[in-house]
Amino acid sequence: MKHRHLTGVDPWSPAAIDDMLDRGLRDDWVALRDRIDGDPFGEIADTVKRLCAATHRYGTSFLWTRYIDEARKDG
């Protein structure tokens, strides 16, 4: 994903993930889902939960929080 206002950053940095949650497309979300599935208790999942709690995005915040909670039940 090409991030606005971000250059030369880690694509999995909190700022990049925040941008992905805000304006990501299907393929971006698939990549994020795959990272969460690989480590539902890891840093990426924790970052997504923290960002979703900090900024309400209609539908998105609930979706990702719920997805991670379910992945953690299964993991």
pLDDT number for residue 72:
95
Q: What is the pTM of this model?
A: 0.83
pLDDT number for residue 2:
54
pLDDT number for residue 7:
58
Tens digits of residue pLDDT in 44-63: 999 999 999 998 888 889 99
Which residues, given as ranges, of the chain have pLDDT below 50? Answer: 1, 3
The three-state DSSP-derived secondary structure of the chain is CCCCCCCCCCCCCHHHHHHHHHHCCHHHHHHHHHHHHHCCCCHHHHHHHHHHHHCCCCCHHHHHHHHHHHHHHHC
